[in-house]
Chain A
Amino acid sequence: MTDFTPNEPEPDRLLELLADGATAGLSDAERDELRALLGPDRASEPAAYEAAAAAVALALTPGAGPVPPGLRARAEAALPAFAAPAAPAAPAPKRRRVPLAWAGWAVAAGLLIAFGAREFKARPTVAELRARLVANDPRALVLEGNTPAGETAAGSIVWSHDRQEGYLTLRNLPQLKNQQLQLWIFDAERDERYPVDGGVFDATAGEVVIPIRAAVPVRRAALFALTVEPVGGVVVSARERIVWTAKPG
Chain B
Amino acid sequence: MPRIAAGDAAAMRECLDRYGALVWALAARTTANRTEAEDAAQEAFIAIWQAAGRYRPEAGSEPAFITVVVRNKLIDRKRRAGRAPQQTALPADVPGQPPADPLEACDEAARARAALDELVPAQRRVLELAVCHGLSHQEVAERTGLPLGTVKTYVRRGLMRVRERMQATGRPEARP
Contacts and interface: CB of A to CB of B under 8 A. Distances in A.
A171 B88 CA distance: 46
Contacts of B118: 1-2
B76 A235 contact: yes
Interface string B84-110: 000000100011011111010010111
Contact of B153 (A11, A18, A53, A84): A11
B120 A61 contact: no
Nearest to B80: A235
A22 B173 CA distance: 13
Given A55-B162, A79-B13, A63 B157 contact: no
Contact of B100 (A15, A61, A194): A61
Given A66-B21, A67-B21, A79-B13, A49 B8 contact: no
Contacts of A50: 68, 71-72, 173, 175
Interface stretch (A70-78, A95-103, A128-136): A70-78
B24 A57 contact: no
B123 A194 contact: no
A79 B109 contact: no
A64 B132 CA distance: 13
Nearest to B157: A4
A75 B44 CA distance: 10
Contact of B49 (A63, A82, A86): A82
Interface string A20-62: 1011110000000000000000001001111111111111111
Interface in B120-166: 120, 123, 127-128, 130-132, 134, 136-137, 146-147, 149-150, 152-163, 166
A83 interface: yes
A51 B173 contact: yes
A75 B123 contact: no
Contacts, number: 231
Given A58-B64, A59-B109, A83-B12, A8 B153 contact: yes
Contacts of B150: 6
Interface residues of B, number: 90
A58 B117 CA distance: 14
A165 to B, nearest CB: 14
Given A23-B131, A51-B174, A64 B42 contact: no
B37 to A, nearest CB: 8
Interface residues of A, number: 58
B174 A54 contact: yes
A106 interface: no
A58 B131 contact: no
A64 B156 contact: no
Given A51-B173, A58-B112, A82-B12, A24 B26 contact: no
Contacts of A20: 137
Contact of B43 (A3, A55, A66, A215): A215
Given A58-B109, A217-B42, A235-B80, A22 B159 contact: yes
Contact of A63 (B13, B100, B112): B100
Contact of B9 (A22, A48, A80): A80
Contacts of A216: 39, 42-43
A19 B159 contact: yes
Interface in B24-76: 24-26, 28-29, 34, 38-39, 41-43, 45-46, 49-50, 60, 63-64, 67-68, 71-72, 75-76
Which one of A16, A51, A74 has the greatest number of beta carbons of chain B within 10 Å? A51
16 contacts: A2-B118, A22-B159, A47-B173, A55-B166, A56-B128, A57-B131, A58-B64, A58-B103, A59-B109, A61-B99, A64-B21, A74-B42, A75-B41, A79-B13, A84-B9, A236-B80
Given A3-B123, A56-B131, A65-B21, 18 more contacts: A1-B118, A4-B154, A15-B156, A18-B159, A23-B131, A24-B79, A24-B134, A50-B72, A50-B175, A54-B67, A56-B162, A58-B63, A62-B90, A64-B90, A71-B24, A72-B20, A80-B9, A236-B80
